[in-house]
Amino acid sequence: MAFFNNRELLQELGFGTKNYKTRVRFLNTDGSVNVKRSGLGLLRNLDVFHWLISTTAFKLNLVILIWYIFINSFFACTYFLIGPEHFGGLDVPVGSTFRELSALFFFSAQTITTLGYGHVYPIGELASTAASIESLLGLLSFAVATGVLYGRFSRPKAHILYSDSLLIAPYKEGKAIMFRLVNKKQSELIESEVKVNVTFTNAASNKREFYSLRLEIEKINFLPFSWTIVHPLNDESPIAGYSFKDYESLDFEFLVLFKAINDTVSQNVYSRFSYKPEQIIDQAKFLPMDQKVDKKGRVVIDVNDVNKFQKLN
Amino acid sequence: MAFFNNRELLQELGFGTKNYKTRVRFLNTDGSVNVKRSGLGLLRNLDVFHWLISTTAFKLNLVILIWYIFINSFFACTYFLIGPEHFGGLDVPVGSTFRELSALFFFSAQTITTLGYGHVYPIGELASTAASIESLLGLLSFAVATGVLYGRFSRPKAHILYSDSLLIAPYKEGKAIMFRLVNKKQSELIESEVKVNVTFTNAASNKREFYSLRLEIEKINFLPFSWTIVHPLNDESPIAGYSFKDYESLDFEFLVLFKAINDTVSQNVYSRFSYKPEQIIDQAKFLPMDQKVDKKGRVVIDVNDVNKFQKLN
Amino acid sequence: MAFFNNRELLQELGFGTKNYKTRVRFLNTDGSVNVKRSGLGLLRNLDVFHWLISTTAFKLNLVILIWYIFINSFFACTYFLIGPEHFGGLDVPVGSTFRELSALFFFSAQTITTLGYGHVYPIGELASTAASIESLLGLLSFAVATGVLYGRFSRPKAHILYSDSLLIAPYKEGKAIMFRLVNKKQSELIESEVKVNVTFTNAASNKREFYSLRLEIEKINFLPFSWTIVHPLNDESPIAGYSFKDYESLDFEFLVLFKAINDTVSQNVYSRFSYKPEQIIDQAKFLPMDQKVDKKGRVVIDVNDVNKFQKLN
Amino acid sequence: MAFFNNRELLQELGFGTKNYKTRVRFLNTDGSVNVKRSGLGLLRNLDVFHWLISTTAFKLNLVILIWYIFINSFFACTYFLIGPEHFGGLDVPVGSTFRELSALFFFSAQTITTLGYGHVYPIGELASTAASIESLLGLLSFAVATGVLYGRFSRPKAHILYSDSLLIAPYKEGKAIMFRLVNKKQSELIESEVKVNVTFTNAASNKREFYSLRLEIEKINFLPFSWTIVHPLNDESPIAGYSFKDYESLDFEFLVLFKAINDTVSQNVYSRFSYKPEQIIDQAKFLPMDQKVDKKGRVVIDVNDVNKFQKLN
């Protein structure tokens, strides 16, 4: 990616320049793009696997539990319709519907998990067929669960903590846009790359414009400590002519695209972040992160230090 | 990929130039290449895993069900040949072949799923050996099923909706070939790239020729809305000299190759599409896709709008 | 990979130039490198997962069966040492060692597969502990089996059929080295690339030399039919000065490196092949592969046609 | 990666130049970066999957065993609180708390593994509910175990054995830094690449400086034998002016970054290594590795030969 002329309009970002009548946020704080796609009907729009592997652990467990209760209730009813007399060892008073349903519910649970204690067992073709289908369904469901859990665990993610604020800091003879990031996790990220784009409303045309920003360093081999990303506000910068006040009035947004290789799984990982004017601080500089050495001789850092900065007068 | 001279014949597509006596479609509408390879015998040509992870969910479920019925029938017969007297708890009238086979079928189902209620159980070496083998087979089968289901779910796909039509639309002072595409799913695609090639019959040599088409934008960072791919029909275009009518008579086909990174699984995804003359509309232009803002502040689009265009007179 | 000067010695292949006192084959016919590494002791040299996912299906099944018999025999003996009286429902004559061992073997099989009919069951702490450990071991073993089977199925491979012979064929005004390859499977290969290197003994220095060969086309987008790889034997070729007879006396080997993307799983796949002098045919040319059109309108090819060539007088 | 001016300070390594008051080791001998990140609380800092797939087999087995004993103890207590009278077939003397807990512990083990012999079984809603939850938990746990085991096996690693020492050896008319590496495993590594960086304390500024070193060969296609990496100490080298004694006093560290493609799984693999002054030997040269030919015609090497060198006087 060469930047032969970075004052040129950036068309490659994909957000388009029109249709933005109000203030917008292009990237959410979690890095997701602020767009919802509809039009295919609920089922076809739903990307089940995507949801299952990217939702929270709490919601996933809830879904599994609800599914487990639902499927056992369904089969308990099915078995009840077939007739409780087709199940040996039920050992409940005849005619006690609730007790029968309850016993069949637990028989179902023992069948779908392929537990099969056997103190309750199906008698006759119909009950046996239903139980056969349930145990097959159970195995396939848990095959899906295995896939989902593995997909969640092995899904390569970049656990990047960005500084809450983007600073306009002194740099050489002038100023520079600066922000910091740090790897939150113990697994190493290698060959990390950052691209920063800026978008704002062109006051004259009233259209959105996008520019890429030239960075002091775009790629580093390791990310052991924090990495301060620096865009010098010199003559070559496409935003050199805009003051801190313009950031608010022209609805600036700094879009950060991060890419690295997770060393544990040897896969590419991506992260995104964006800074809106309320997150930008003029006349400030980052403070170095503390580094202690522990008993094992390792350099210990506190990732929260990524936010340590100092206001300049 | 540089296009130093894009009027030069493209040899790198791999389709060859000979042997096309009749009209052909190189890419099917689902993006697959229109070729069948034979000659290795049925079994060696069959790519079982490829079929299992790319077939429809309905066919896969059918195959699993048929396999389940077949394998249980097979073992029911095996157990019957060993002798129903070698199974405890069968509890069917002696000599009732159908009832015995049926009971052994369900015993087999309880064995292969490792359910093992135990109200029926094998007696003696032969029956026990058969049951041992069946339960091992069952575990291995469900290991395969787990792999297949995970392979299906985790298989990286680009869910791209292409506009049904390719338009010849006004562009700057001249005309351009244009089509649109949109991401159907909620998982983001990043670093999307498109290449467009054209093939037609050279009227003089009666051979197939392939050219790559220079695009206005070849790569975008995000694909939140639709992306209109534009090939200007200027002097540099290899198809500048051909009119809309030639497209039909020379059996034109526009081959679209799409590549992106699926952000959820951090993997490359590919999609292909092709336009034949009956899908090409002269003198038309695409209309902008509607953008609403929902309660959560997200921009909502209808992916079907990718097809909205207007005929120009 | 630029070829600024392809008459220069190629050092990047990694085979080294010394220590070749006799005739050697660098690549085996299956593409593996003809080297065995030792020195770490049997266990540490053994790459179990590599072996399990790359061995033949027959050997894998044999290993599973042997493991199944071994582990059940081991636990049968363990249970026997604990004492057959600690197992309920054994139902064999007391003192009949073989019958007891046999029954415990099948109890073990029912335990390790988590089948658990329950007509035999452990009594007391010792027997129960052993059975608990066995069922845990069983689950972990089948977790490994699931991983191995998925690893085998999902392992990206390039199923390339190379022509048995490399031809020295007429090409433009001169000659060229040519061979053909075809995709054996129905899953598409995209962005296929080939590199060809040659190695032979320098008669003067008696050392091995390696050169890369410039190809007519190095990369193609699709591989629907066969691909004929062509190295023109013109003045720029590093082997232009050698005749067909020299190939034998200088122990030539043509090393073919193939790389593509498997479209089904969106992963890179690799294949290698090599041609020794006995596989090289002078004065011959490949014949076109037959193309039929089946009822579905697909072009059908026979992959064995990759070997069809004609001797020229 | 071009090296237009490799005497220029290298900023891209990511280690920073400040804050190094004492002697440090940047890379550990196992290639991990010598940094510990804290500040998110124990749970959020913990990367469980990363730990599970990268810890030793012994620790993983221990964790599984401890989990198994813990979870069964937990459910044994739960069942005991529900009341031993709610379990059929317990068959222990009433009031014998230990015997009851022990029997419930094994019932729990039979439930969580979905073994379910059934000689002990739950009676009533409460006991059945607890057992249903345990069997669901069991299946999910073993789904996780399957994922972890597959993740461990399939995790692409470069099993590289580096020479213990880095030599300052004669090279052409001058000297060169040399070290060797070899692939320990039988699975092939292709397209291997090496980058070598050096870091030392600038005596004048007392800051850490990083430079990349130009190598004789940076990339090789195969790695069948050993690969000797050579950095000539000529005028262009950033460390040409430093003597062997300076290495110690300026706290030199040579950082080796290795990258290749594992041919079995077609994935990128990485390895790192570093040499500190105590591992550097002046005036020595590597000896060729022995190559024998076994009965199958394979060239056999001993990977330990990677360390064979000769002191020069």
Question: Which pTM value belongs to this model?
Answer: 0.84
Amino acid C12: pLDDT: 61
The answer to whether residue D118 neighbours chain B at the CB level (below 8 Å) is yes
D268 interface with C at CB cutoff 8 Å: no
D73 exposure class (CB count in 10 Å sphere: 0-12, 13-18, 19+): middle
Find which of A283-287, D12-16, D224-228 is predicted with most confidence, using mean pLDDT. A283-287
In a 3-state reduction of DSSP, which class is residue D266? coil
Give the CA-trace dihedral at A97, A100, A106, A107, to 10 degrees: -140
For CA atoms D296, D297, D298, D299, give the dihedral sign: positive
Q: What is the mean pLDDT of chain D?
A: 85
The yes-or-no verdict on residue D7 having pLDDT over 50 is no
Asked whether residue D19 carries a pLDDT value surpassing 70, the answer given is no
pLDDT at position B22: 65
Residue B255's DSSP bridge partners are B197, B274
Q: Are D161 and D196 in contact (CB under 8 A)?
A: no
- What lies within 8 Å, CB to CB, of A66 at 6+ separation is none
Q: Do A270 and B190 touch (CB under 8 A)?
A: yes
- Is the predicted pLDDT of residue C4 greater than 50, yes or no? no
Q: For residue D32, which amino acid is it?
A: S
Question: For residue C8, is pLDDT > 70?
Answer: no
Share of chain D above pLDDT 70, in %: 90
D263-284 pLDDT, tens per residue?
777 788 888 899 999 999 999 9
What does the mean pLDDT of chain C come to? Answer: 85
Rounded Cα gap, residues C267 and D156, in angstroms: 14
Average pLDDT over residues D176-202: 88
Q: Tokens representing A220?
A: 């580093």
Confirm or reject contact between A147 and chain B (CB < 8 A): yes
Measured distance CA(A100)–CA(A88) in Å, rounded: 12
Which chains sit next to A, with 3 or more Cβ pairs under 8 A? B, C, D
Segment (H or E) for C217: none
- Could you tell me which of A214, A204, A190, A256 has the C-alpha nearest to residue A13? A256
A72 is written with which tokens?
């056992």
Please, what's the b/e burial string for A117-127 (b: 16 or more CB within 10 A of its CB; e: otherwise)? Answer: bbbbbbbbeeb
- pLDDT of C147 > 80? The answer is yes
Relative to beta strand C208-213, strand C174-183 is unpaired
Mean pLDDT over C147-172 rounds to 88
| pLDDT at residue number B177 | 94
Residue C50, chain D, CB below 8 Å: the answer is yes
The DSSP element (H or E) to which A306 belongs, if any, is none
Residue C7 has pLDDT above 60, yes or no: no
Q: What residues of C are in contact with residue A146 (Cβ under 8 Å)? A: 146
Most confident range (mean pLDDT) of C105-119, C179-193, D26-40 is C105-119
| Alpha-carbon dihedral sign for residues B90, B92, B94, B100 | negative
Nearest CA in chain C to D118: C118
- Flag whether pLDDT at D152 surpasses 60: yes
- What string of H, E and C letters represents the secondary structure of D212-242? EECCCCCEEEECCCCEEEEEECCCCCCCCCC
**pLDDT attached to residue B10:** 60
C-beta atoms of C117 and A118 within 8 A: yes
Greater pLDDT, C292 or D44:
C292
Least confident piece of the model among A51-55, A94-98, D42-46: D42-46
Q: Do B150 and A146 touch (CB under 8 A)?
A: yes
Work out the minimum CA distance from B256 to partner chain D, whole angstroms.
Answer: 27
More confident of the two residues C208 and B214: B214
Residue A2 has pLDDT above 50, yes or no: no
Tell me, yes or no, if B117 comes closer than 8 A to chain D by beta carbon.
yes
**d(Cα B112, Cα C115) in Å, to the nearest integer?**
9
Average pLDDT value for residue range B183-207: 85
Residue A21 burial class via C-beta count within 10 angstroms: exposed 0-12, middle 13-18, buried 19 and up = exposed
Domains, in order of start, for chain D:
47-154 (1.10.287.70), 160-311 (2.60.40.1400)
pLDDT in tens, A244-263: 889 998 989 998 989 898 87
**Lowest mean pLDDT segment, chosen from A79-83, B36-40, D151-155:** B36-40
pLDDT bucket at D189, cuts 50 / 70 / 90: confident
Whether residue D4 has pLDDT greater than 90:
no
Closest CA to A35 of B296, B274, D51: B296
Confidence of residue B1 (pLDDT cuts 50, 70, 90): very low
> HEC states along chain B?
CCCCCCCCCCCCCCCCCCCCCCCCCCECCCCCECEEEECCCHHHHCCHHHHHHHCCHHHHHHHHHHHHHHHHHHHHHHHHHHCHHHEECCCCCCCCHHHHHHHHHHHHHHHHCCCCCCCCEECCHHHHHHHHHHHHHHHHHHHHHHHHHHHHHHCCCCCEEECCCEEEEEECCEEEEEEEEEECCCCCEEEEEEEEEEEEECCCCCCEEEEEECCCCCEEEECCCCEEEEEECCCCCCCCCCCHHHHHHCCCEEEEEEEEEECCCCEEEEEEEEECHHHEEECEEECCCCCEECCCCCEEEEHHHHHCEEECC
The torsion of the CA quartet B243, B244, B250, B253, rounded to 10 degrees, works out to 120
Q: CB distance from C70 to chain B under 8 Å?
A: no
- Lowest-confidence segment of A193-197, C245-249, D149-153, D243-247 by average pLDDT: D149-153
DSSP characters over A38-72: E-S-HHHH--HHHHHHHS-HHHHHHHHHHHHHHHH
Nearest CA in chain B to A124: B103
DSSP letters of D95-149? T-HHHHHHHHHHHHHHHHTT----SSEE-SHHHHHHHHHHHHHHHHHHHHHHHHH
- pLDDT tens digits along C42-97: 555 567 777 888 888 899 999 999 999 999 999 999 999 999 999 998 888 777 89
The pLDDT value given to residue C45: 52
C241 CB within 8 Å of a chain A CB: no
CA-based nearest distance A89→chain C, Å: 15
What is the average pLDDT value for chain B, to the nearest integer?
85
Summarised one tens digit per residue, pLDDT across range A147-182 is: 898 888 877 777 899 999 999 999 988 999 999 999
Query: What is the radius of gyration, based on Cα positions, of chain C?
Result: 29
**A82 pLDDT above the threshold of 90:** yes
Inform me whether the pLDDT recorded for D16 exceeds 70.
no
Question: What percent of chain A is predicted at pLDDT more than 90?
Answer: 44
d(CA C227, CA D186): 31
What value does the mean pLDDT of chain A take? 85
Tens-digit pLDDT profile for residues A24-66:
777 777 777 777 777 766 555 567 777 888 888 899 999 999 9
Under the phi-then-psi rule, with left for phi > 0, alpha for psi from -120 to 50, and beta for the rest, what region is A116? left
CA quadruple C74, C80, C81, C87: dihedral positive or negative?
positive
